[in-house]
Copies of this chain bind each other. A is one copy, B any other.
């Protein structure tokens, strides 16, 4: 009895033989599994305190196996950070046909940014010092970060122009906002009392409201 041909298996195929496409997908999945395990360990114990042997052990393989998927430890960290930054960048790229005010767009950006910082890849952006990376990878990450920074400043600027955001120093505001959001990666613990969405909302609220008391007729924002 011959095994069923992979190309015939459209639905419900428990066969151990994989199609070429499936094989490629397996590889991508394994790559991602390495990144995920690595990110978790890097965040928990720190990049330098985590050896690739640690990462491999976590996945029930040995260190040389990892080198089938990555060129170096450096590349592993770099990819983790890139994943995280791409999540944020997706949130920062403007939607073409949007009629939202600058403040509304900024709030959405801040909340997605904040939620990203509660996830493994997002955390790795701020929890690992960029000095751990090779000069080339460091430069590339800086490029991605400044792209996000530019996008955020753009949103702030347009908010000032449409009157939804108070005039302020855009540069300082962007730095302060990014700083407050990045900090989440340092104090958030998955088992905590606040869910990521809650943290995101509260932090965005605070940055919008500020510390100074509202005047009576504008005391609290709804929702």
Contact = CB atoms under 8 A, between A and B. Distances in A.
Interface string A40-54: 000001111100000
Number of copies: 2
Nearest to A164: B213
Contact of A159 (B168, B211, B217, B221): B211
Contacts of A165: 211-213
Given A129-B128, A131-B45, A131-B49, A212 B103 contact: yes
Interface stretch (A20-28, A66-74, A75-83, A175-183): A175-183
Interface stretch (A6-14, A91-99, A202-210): A202-210
Given A211-B103, A215-B218, A176 B168 contact: no
Q: Which 4 A-B pairs give the minimum distances between C-beta atoms?
A: A210-B210, A179-B183, A46-B131, A176-B180
Interface of A: 45-49, 103, 106, 127-129, 131-132, 156, 159, 163-166, 168-169, 172-173, 175-184, 186-187, 199, 202-203, 205-215, 217-219, 221
Given A169-B206, A175-B184, A178-B183, 5 more contacts: A175-B183, A179-B181, A207-B210, A209-B210, A214-B215
27 contacts: A47-B129, A48-B48, A49-B132, A103-B212, A106-B211, A128-B129, A129-B129, A156-B211, A159-B211, A165-B212, A166-B209, A166-B212, A166-B214, A168-B209, A168-B211, A172-B203, A173-B206, A175-B183, A176-B180, A179-B183, A179-B184, A179-B186, A182-B183, A206-B210, A208-B210, A212-B221, A215-B217
